[in-house]
Structure 1
Amino acid sequence: MSTKDLHAPKRKLLPEMEGRTARWYARNRGSAAQLAEYRRQAARLAEGLPPGAAVLEVAPGPGYLAIELARLGSYRITGLDVSRTFVELAGEAARQAGVEATFRQGDVHDLPFPADSFDLVVCQAAFKNFVRPVRALDELHRVLRPGGRAVIHDLRADASPADIEREVARMGLRGLDGFWTRSALRMLRRRAVTAGAFARLAAESAFGGAEVDRDGLIGLEVRLRKAG
């Protein structure tokens, strides 16, 4: 797939993440196995992060990862999501957890923050939905402070149906929840990219490149750093 194709508008494969759909997603992502994974991911992301660091999570959904990061230190956590429902759910979850985290609505292609605002930017399971991926990377680069880093986790385009089955089982999802999650992941592969394609996107962006690795059964991990 060429980067020209990657920049083309992507038609909707799933309903908008608002209202009932967003609440179903939040419940589905809140299984015990997935919450434990969020805690592990937060611990990894916090390694080397200084006290008081400013952290942005793009597309935090129901806010589970942002909340786990907030539990780990005196970080200034901000989440930005295009979904009004997710902003409300994440804010309420943070209040119930007793942590400080701010969630607001916005678009990754035009981040409402000044340049050099954050030490770390995180994005999980959402990058494949961004209609202008290079523009999105450029915006992440802009809001990072010199020396800051970005970490992206997402679905791989070459994830096999068998690996998707195993991943859904690992998530602890059964019955209709498992069925709909498997169906969604299979459809969303059409939006996703391979590790090689993501590396080419990063090379076109202001970052100039990235470290890209397979992550688990069906994912990829992208690590980017702003020079300085």
Structure 2
Amino acid sequence: MKKRLVVLTGAGISAESGIATFRDADGLWEGHDVMDVASPQGWRKNPKLVLDFYNQRRKNAHTVEPNVAHKTLSELEKDFDVRIITQNVDNLHERAGSTHVTHLHGKLFECRSTLDPSLVYPIDGWELNLGDKCERGSQLRPNIVWFGEPVPMMEVAMEETLQADIFLVVGTSLVVYPAAGLVDFVPEDVPIYVVDPKLPDIRKRPNLHLYDEKASTGMVKVAKLLRDKYL
């Protein structure tokens, strides 16, 4: 039976493909205050700005490709039961071939009703505009979990984490909660591997392995190590 490898990924893994992050820019995301484009208040204040912002993110996402780190995680499915929990809203894990991906913060290529959150639709292409409505007649918004909103997939992620045989953290600074709290749910006897050029401040524990590297080079090393050690 394959060991269950649970992987928490963050902005750092997608940054290497050319997806912009905002944590490195003093809270500005592509020149915008994060709260203007990623909060319910920002949406109420200027929905057109928010829609345009995510349209540009989608347009950009169409031009990038999964990188070595995404592909390495996908290839690990041959040898492990890989469950990815991602803070990213792009679809690069899926495009790389990963088959079990939980998106904590929503999906860039989906929209949902502002009236009924259960009405979720795929976005073909990259545009979502004012006047685009759900079947009940309300404006569609990006299916993104904004700051201040609950994280509906968190319970699924916690359950996955509790069942991990190996836990891997790639490309995240572990500062965005509640996602960052997942490491506290990893059973004490389960090894944790962390890959990030800015290693997060993580509680010291037995079997903690830290790799001060970017996602692509770090993942190649960790994948080899995991195969050598656990197969």
Alignment TM-score > 0.5, same fold: no
With the shorter chain as reference, the TM-score category is 0.3 to 0.5
Normalising by structure 1, report the TM-score: 0.42
Structure (1 or 2) with the larger CA radius of gyration = 2
**TM-score in terms of structure 2 length:** 0.42
